[in-house]
Structure 1
Amino acid sequence: MAPRTSSWSVWNNASSTDRYIRSADDWIEARQKDDGTEGLWRIHDGLYDFRHWIHKHPGGPQWLEITKGTDITELFETYHLNGKAATEVMHRFYVRPADSPRKSPFTFKPDGFYNVLKSRVAKKLAYTKLPNSLSLKSVMVIDCCFFVTLVMCAAVARTENYLLALITGVALALGSVASHNFTHLKDNWRMYYLQLSLFSVREWRISHVVSHHVYTNTVQDLEMTLLYPFIHWFPTKDKPWIVLWLPFLTPIAYIFTGTVIFITRTLKRKNDKADLLIFVIPVIMVFSGRMTISNVCAMWYFIILTCNFVFVFLGFSVSHHLPENFHDGDFIDDQYIDWGIYQMNTSAERSEPFKNNIFFQLVTFGDHTLHHLFPSLDQSLIPLVQNIFEDTCKEFGMDVSQKSVMSIMHGQFKQLVRLTPRHKP
């Protein structure tokens, strides 16, 4: 089947936009083919060989392992606030200039919106004495979420109560959302909490960080396409009938997301040792009650289904899928656009009901626009740069008006049925 049509012609023949792609590994392998970096790493117009640097990388080896053979310009720019220090290290591994232009339309000009904002944020954090309690807050939230989840799993095993299992699934989902913060940071053991809900940290870093965060709402955004035909966010007239006629039933597909991804990963033999963590919950349930193995499996899977629904629903309801936001197919004013401005065009500012509450922010993908702009910042640090963000947006004429939580949740269903792309006025 042909690749999806994009607002940017450079992607219209890309194998990484093929409709048959249904896994993170398929996507990254297609990107390696499209980017043509000959097994190296591309940053802007240069090729670099980081093979001997992988296990010395301050962010951990996994980042370089999963991006080998691809263009990592956007990741390099957004994950290194101290660009000067990172650039000095990078030059030690320079091989040669790339043979072809970049296949990404995003720019990082020194006087552009993103680099101006980044330099101000970096200066603010460099000259701010940060109390240790900041990062500790994030740690306490996620540890408490999973402690409560595991205790409740033991209670479910003793009572065999499905209402309690439902609450346990919600608790597991909130903890999984909180673990999202840690998957963006340097390699750490807390990011593996995500595995308890059938997802894979390695796959998540590809589909969410490398794909969604960089190419938000475009045909290169794997999170836009993995649930096709149940979800079709692009404004096209070839939407599946289930999306057009039953948009409010499509969240049913959220329930089985983790299951489908896990089965796909297993069939492709892409499991790793971290997948053993999937069995933590059923093992606790086996040793905490007198349930039969079949009842344990049934109750555990009910918890997983509940968790997956809440996790995916929160993800799709957070910021990106309002009809007013850019979705690939809509008119774009310039084929080469500042990456930060593009992120602003694909994300709505949510009016947070519990402003600066670290628990609420961590378990609901809060402060989402700033998180997209600076994904390597721990969630607890984001409020420190909010004023700088708002002032810079005003300077560049960017809209920072806020939308209510309910309007954003409702907006995803309006976007699902939008057929007509926005054209040039």
Structure 2
Amino acid sequence: MVAEAKPSLITNVPPSFYAQSDRATDAWLSAKRRDDNVEDGLWRIHNTLYDLTDFIDKHPGGPMWLEMTKGHSGVTRTFVRRGYSLLLQSIDFPENWVPSKEAKNWIQRYVSYIYVPIFYCFLYLYTFSMRMLLSIVKGHKVHINHFLPFIVPITMYLFGGNHTLIEALKIFSIIILSGSFMFSIIALNADHHHPEVVHDGDPVRKSYDWGLYSVDTIMDRQELRGNTLLTLTNFGDHALHHLFPTLDHGILPELYDDFFATLLEFEAECQCYPWFFETIKGQFQQLSRIETMKLDSHERYLLKHGRQMKSK
């Protein structure tokens, strides 16, 4: 039996500045603050205003997010989802995973097979350069932690023996390029981009809650389950991570029995594929996909298991 769920709280309306090329975090927050028009110094969670000033320094996740969301309702999404990353929304990637004939040209579909791996090497440099550029052009705030990586070449130059500054910078560049490539190939191919995973534009469940929606947009990798090292270094146990982002990853494997039982109860399943090449292949297949799915996740589940939709 499929339980009736409350309407999704995931917003379908982007903030005012979303259409602009400048889509960094500060712009998103500024747009939300202008759109929500919350009394200055307060936070809105759903339709209730809160004064969290005395709680900022006690927040287990640190004060930054509460400080950034003061004066608008952006904290509502975090409160509902218990975790929200603006990183991917802050960057206009040259990859387009949205299945759309209008939004995706042939270069994005096929030439991306060539230029995307090259872009992986420069992701770190790209994000840093964009932050600096936006701070100059748009006046976005620059945080001191943005410059922490430069401690490495400075330390190599000062304490690395006879290395010149140029040699230290060359070694640092190799570290950054290789680290960027490894991070990108793991993170961007990890758990969300596969033609069998729901993307923007695909049909969604007619009756769903946030948990089911999250599971529909996630894939897991078989070989990572049960291996703590691989899980921590390769974004493993990803479905449980999204459902319980505040729990230690060492605890997540204990939840699998209840997780699978809940999926069965709600006639859902989490896509799971062999790691590593299957997920990379799926990511490029998703880059090429322009047709949206014909059925939503629940309908595909029933079809797969030879069952029919229940009449309302």
TM range (shorter): 0.7 to 0.9
Shift of 1:239: 1.4
Residue in structure 2 matching 1:243, options 104, 108, 113: 108
Residue in structure 2 matching 1:234, options 98, 102, 117: 98
AA aligned opposite 1:28:
L
Cα distance in structure 2, aligned partners of 1:349 and 1:42 = 34
Render the CA deviation track for 1:315-338: whole Å, top value 9, x for unaligned: 11111011111111112233x741
- Indicate the SS of the match to 1:384: helix
Residue 218 of structure 2 contacts residue 271 of structure 2 at CA under 8 Å; is this kept in 1?
no
Aligned residue in 1 for 2:25: 24
Q: In the alignment, is residue 71 of structure 1 matched against residue 74 of structure 2? A: yes
Cα distance in structure 1, aligned partners of 2:60 and 2:125 = 33
Q: Give the % identical residues.
A: 35
Which residues in structure 2 correspond to 1:369-380 (within 5 Å)?
Answer: 369-380=239-250
Residue 220 of structure 2 contacts residue 238 of structure 2 at CA under 8 Å; is this kept in 1?
yes
Which residues in structure 2 correspond to 1:26-425 (within 5 Å)?
Answer: 26-39=27-40, 40-68=42-70, 69-79=72-82, 209-211=83-85, 223=88, 226-228=91-93, 230-237=94-101, 238-249=103-114, 250-267=116-133, 268=135, 270-286=141-157, 287-334=159-206, 337-353=208-224, 355-400=225-270, 402-405=272-275, 406-423=277-294
User: Using a 3 Å threshold, how does the CA distance of structure 1 residues 24 and 224 change in structure 2: closer, same or farther?
Assistant: closer
TM-score normalised by L of structure 1: 0.60
User: Using a 3 Å threshold, how does the CA distance of structure 1 residues 275 and 226 change in structure 2: closer, same or farther?
Assistant: closer
Residue 224 of structure 1 contacts residue 232 of structure 1 at CA under 8 Å; is this kept in 2?
no
User: Using a 3 Å threshold, how does the CA distance of structure 1 residues 37 and 74 change in structure 2: closer, same or farther?
Assistant: same
Render the CA deviation track for 1:348-403: whole Å, top value 9, x for unaligned: 122024x3222111110111111011111122121122222112111211113521
Cα distance in structure 1, aligned partners of 2:234 and 2:119 = 20
User: Using a 3 Å threshold, how does the CA distance of structure 1 residues 352 and 31 change in structure 2: closer, same or farther?
Assistant: farther
User: Using a 3 Å threshold, how does the CA distance of structure 1 residues 295 and 271 change in structure 2: closer, same or farther?
Assistant: same
Shift of 1:313: 1.6
AA aligned opposite 1:48:
Y
Cα distance in structure 1, aligned partners of 2:18 and 2:145 = 28
Give unpaired runs (5+ residues) of structure 2: 1-8, 297-312
Shift of 1:9: 11
Cα distance in structure 2, aligned partners of 1:29 and 1:46 = 20
Shift of 1:410: 0.9
Root-mean-square deviation over aligned CA pairs: 2.6
User: Using a 3 Å threshold, how does the CA distance of structure 1 residues 255 and 32 change in structure 2: closer, same or farther?
Assistant: farther
AA aligned opposite 1:51:
T
Residue 98 of structure 2 contacts residue 201 of structure 2 at CA under 8 Å; is this kept in 1?
yes
Cα distance in structure 2, aligned partners of 1:19 and 1:236 = 20
Shift of 1:274: 2.0
Residue 333 of structure 1 contacts residue 424 of structure 1 at CA under 8 Å; is this kept in 2?
no
| More helix, by proportion | 1
Give unpaired runs (5+ residues) of structure 1: 1-7, 80-208, 213-221
